Amino acid sequence: MQPHRDKANVRPWSMVIISLGCSIVFSAPAAGQTVGDPAKARMQEMDRRELQLNRGAEDSGRPTDPKRTQAMMNQVSEDFQRILTLHNGIVRAIDAKQSFNLQFISEAAGEIRKRSARLQSSLQLPKPEPNEEPAADPKVMEIKDGLILLCRQIENFVRNPIIETPGTVDAQQLRKARRDLQSVVEISDAIKKRVDKQKP
């Protein structure tokens, strides 16, 4: 069970993620108007309310600052590209079939966790509902298995239609993106904690 061997291409994602950020921010009200099954409608309504609350907080201060918006988009792009770069480094470490450099794994996992958590906030992809169970528990996995799972979850997030096709509004895929991104946060956190205990 190896992660996808093709290293993720970093450069083209900068425009995709900027478009994604814009599409999530500006498309959420339309999602709330879609007719579908009750669970989907409830999820979309929740998203619409979250967006209104966020906008309300901004509106209570001063009008949206274009420089601030651009800075946020730059940060999103930087976080996304850095996660992909670290993902590629982890894939190379797994493929090397040598003992892991624990310092690198600890730093990579810690940075992935920090940047993924910031993406949750920036892209308004908060932690999923508590009743949505994770696919696997990274706390009980070997480090290599945890790293493979982490790479897969990063790849799942990157390949989600709302990421690959900016402007896509799909409540089911949005929920999956939230779950995948939350998994990245949790798995990277568990790996860092485990590796830090083993470091000399």
- The pLDDT value recorded for residue 128 is 76
In tens, the pLDDT along 136-147 reads 566 667 889 999
For the chain, list residues with pLDDT below 70: 1-64, 130-140, 166
CB-based burial label for 20 (10 Å; 0-12, 13-18, 19+): buried
Pick from 132, 167, 161: which is nearest to 31 by CA?
A: 167
- The pLDDT value recorded for residue 81 is 93
Quickly tell me which residue has 């992909």 as its tokens.
84
| Sequence spans of domains, the chain | 13-198
- The pLDDT value recorded for residue 150 is 96
CA 198 to chain centre: 27
How many angstroms separate the CA atoms of 135 and 142, rounded?
A: 16
68, 83 in Cβ contact below 8 A?
no
Sequential DSSP letters for 4-28: -SSPPP-TTHHHHHHHHHHHHHHHH
The rounded percent of the chain whose pLDDT value lies above 90 is: 34
- The pLDDT value recorded for residue 193 is 93
